[in-house]
């Protein structure tokens, strides 16, 4: 198996906050969740559930609850990553979230990670979705066919690498 495509996906993915008015098929969403569920997870607990939102009204309610996620109302889909309150829920949920971003990009879909964990609006969003006690909202992912091509500044390898010692 060649990993060149994956390397390209990792290098080219950027956060997308402007979307085309175009539906994402349920088959495509299933494929993205299939990639999310295969993320590494401490003790293989797989403590996650992925809530898929397509209804405009719910997208609007969730977007209004956030601070820096107002653009979610114009996304085609939102995936809410919930994890049971286990020791490594945050790491597990973040690994699954990254898989969602990369799989989406590979399928031609733009995405943006919107903060969940630690945000005061977690309880508001959990209430909107009807989430039972004991589940943590790790992240909110906006998805849609991209209508922008941003290029935020990135540190170079030389700026971040240390060999053998600090």
Ligand X SMILES: Cc1cc2nc3c(=O)[nH]c(=O)nc-3n(C[C@H](O)[C@H](O)[C@H](O)COP(=O)(O)O)c2cc1C
| Listed ranges 9-17, 22-30, 120-128, 155-163: which one lies at the site for ligand X (CB under 6 A) | 9-17
Containing 91, the helix (H) or strand (E) segment is: helix 89-106
Compute the residue count for the chain. 166
Closest CA to 115 of 134, 97, 133: 97
Residues within window 137-166 making contact with ligand X, judged by CB under 6 A: 152
The percent of the chain in helix, strand and coil, each rounded to the nearest 5, is 40, 20, 40
Q: Is residue 89 close enough to count as binding ligand X by CB under 6 A?
A: no
The nearer residue to ligand X, 51 or 114, going by C-beta atoms, is: 114
The nearer residue to ligand X, 20 or 68, going by C-beta atoms, is: 68
Q: What track of x and - describes contact with ligand X for positions 95 through 114 (by CB under 6 A)?
A: -----------------xxx
**DSSP assignments along 7-35, one per residue:** HHHHHH--B---B-S----HHHHHHHHHH
Q: Is residue 47 close enough to count as binding ligand X by CB under 6 A?
A: no
Q: How far is the CB of 112 from ligand X (least distance, A)?
A: 5
59 CB-side CA count, 13 A: 18
Q: How far is the CB of 156 from ligand X (least distance, A)?
A: 14
The correct pick among 35, 59, 69, 89 for binding ligand X (CB under 6 A) is 69
Q: Is residue 115 close enough to count as binding ligand X by CB under 6 A?
A: yes
Strand 77-84: give its sheet, edge to edge.
Answer: 48-53, 77-84, 135-144, 110-115
Binding site for ligand X (CB under 6 A): 14-15, 17, 68-69, 112-115, 152
């Amino acid at each position: 198996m060649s990993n060149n495509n994956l390397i390209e996906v990792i290098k080219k993915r950027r956060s997308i906050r402007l979307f085309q008015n175009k539906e994402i098929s349920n088959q495509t969403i299933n494929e993205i969740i299939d990639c999310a569920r295969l993320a590494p997870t401490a003790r293989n607990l797989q403590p996650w559930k992925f809530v898929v939102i397509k209804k405009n009204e719910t997208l609007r309610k969730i977007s209004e609850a956030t601070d820096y996620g107002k653009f979610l109302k114009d996304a085609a889909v939102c995936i809410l990553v919930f994890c049971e309150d286990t020791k490594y829920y945050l790491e597990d949920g973040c690994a699954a979230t990254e898989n969602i971003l990369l799989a989406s990009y590979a399928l031609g879909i733009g995405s943006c990670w919107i903060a969940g964990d630690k945000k005061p609006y977690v309880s508001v969003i959990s209430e909107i979705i009807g989430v039972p006690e004991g589940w943590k909202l790790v992240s909110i992912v906006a998805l849609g066919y991209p209508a922008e091509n941003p290029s935020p500044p990135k540190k170079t390898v030389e700026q971040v690498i240390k060999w053998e010692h600090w």
